[in-house]
Amino acid sequence: MDGTRVDRRGLGPAATLAVYGAGLVVAFGGAYGIAGPVVPESVVGQWNAQAGRSHGEHGGAPAQAAPAALPGLSMSAEGMSFAPVGAPAVAGEPGTLRFRIENAAGAPVVDYTTTHEKDLHLIAVRADGSQFRHVHPVLDRATGVWSLPWSWVEGGTYRLYADFAPATGSPVTLSRTVEVAGGYTPVDPAPSRTAQVDGFTVTLDGDLVAGASSPVTLRVTRDGEPVTALQPYLGAFGHLVALRQGDLAFLHVHPEGAAPKPAETGGPAVAFRTQVPTAGRYLLYLDFQVDGVVRTAGFVVDAAARTGPAAATPASTPTADGHSGH
């Protein structure tokens, strides 16, 4: 998988969000199919209208569904709902992505507990695992609307995750799907433990075993030399997101060790620990920062079945800083 970067130096908040929204994309290798399919704009409009109606004609939160076995598979949980998303309907069309988080009464949630230096983390990925972005929208407290400048690189079905901790509740990861009109070439990610991004080489060491706590280590080098100038990003020297291929369940990934100080540097190794629920293929995305530039490296790893007694699937438990997701 290739990596991507975004340079935040000299950018104000709005410009930083625009760069993230337009350019933070991780491309998977192994595309299949010669001609990319096209999702008609009229069909997208119907799909997204239906999604809005399913949320309730008057904007109220829907009835609570049964809890999902894993985070990121439901638009409602813990008394919170991910309201319908407004975004450009056509790939390449600039615009704004906006949404609200609502409580059980349908009112917008405006008070949050900061986790990993942000009140809310928004993650977007296409159904095939490509076009990954991890961004941080801005909240308008008067309306409860989160927003940021946005455009889609390609068409397709996208999963959006809202990962947050309300001020008076438990941390939660909700998700919704968005249909985007435009051509695209689906990809079939092949196993890969090495990523190249902007002159950096990132390798992933460690095996994933279903039902077991699995340590993984990411190592960053440049021109064959270890990189020891990693800067803190979101409270660690790297930020890792893991998704299960197929349903894109959002998995817990916790950084190892103490949080670095703001001016501290580290590397070349960044250690994490996660637990995957089943054997199969997983998609991992590492954000790391050097010289004020955040880059994303993507990996594809197959998890083995556990040979001993199976462990119970973990609930959404917060880390030391109160964050439950990644």
- Give domain status of residue 290, yes or no: yes
Return the pLDDT at 54. Answer: 43
Residue-level pLDDT at 3: 55
With cut-offs at 50, 70 and 90, classify the pLDDT of residue 50.
very low
Task: Answer yes or no: is pLDDT of 174 > 80.
Answer: yes
- Is the same domain home to 34 and 159? yes
Q: Tell me, yes or no, whether 105 and 146 share the same domain.
A: yes
pTM, full prediction: 0.76
Give the model's pLDDT for residue 307: 84
Q: Residue 59 and residue 38: Cα distance in Å, rounded? A: 31
In a domain? residue 43: yes
Segment 194-202 mean pLDDT: 98
Same domain? For 66 and 212 the reply is: no
Q: Which residue has the tokens 């309300």?
A: 166
Joined tokens for residue 36: 């990319």
Lowest-confidence region among 17-26, 125-134, 155-164: 17-26
Torsion of Cα atoms, 197 then 185 then 189 then 278, to 10°: 130
pLDDT tens-digit readout, 100-126: 999 999 999 999 999 999 999 999 999
Is there a single domain that holds both residue 171 and residue 254? no
pLDDT band at 69 (very low <50, low <70, confident <90, very high): low
Q: In terms of pLDDT, which residue wins out, 275 or 29?
A: 275
Residue 197 has which token pair?
A: 């991004």
Q: How many CB atoms lie within 10 A of CB 43?
A: 12
Quote the tokens at residue 267.
Answer: 């590397």
Residues 231-288: pLDDT tens digits? Answer: 999 999 999 999 999 999 999 798 999 999 999 999 999 999 999 999 999 999 999 9
Higher pLDDT, 170 or 13: 170
Which of 134, 164, 183 is at the close of a domain?
A: 183
The answer to whether residue 313 scores a pLDDT higher than 90 is no
If pLDDT is split at 50, 70 and 90, which confidence band does 29 have? very low
311 in a structural domain: no
Number of structural domains the chain divides into: 2
The label of the residue with tokens 């704004």 reads 96
Q: Is residue 167 part of a domain?
A: yes
Q: Which of 160, 183, 206 is the last residue of a domain?
A: 183
Say which residue, 239 or 314, is predicted with more confidence: 239
In whole angstroms, what is the distance from residue 248 CA to residue 310 CA?
22
Instruction: For residues 155 and 16, state if they share a domain.
Output: yes
How does the average pLDDT of the chain come out, rounded?
82
**Counting beta carbons within 10 angstroms of the beta carbon of residue 312, is it exposed (0 to 12), middle (13 to 18) or buried (19 or more)?**
exposed
Domain of residue 215, residue span: 194-303
Q: Please compute the mean of the pLDDT values over residues 52-69 and round it to a whole number.
A: 44
Residue 27 lies in a domain: yes
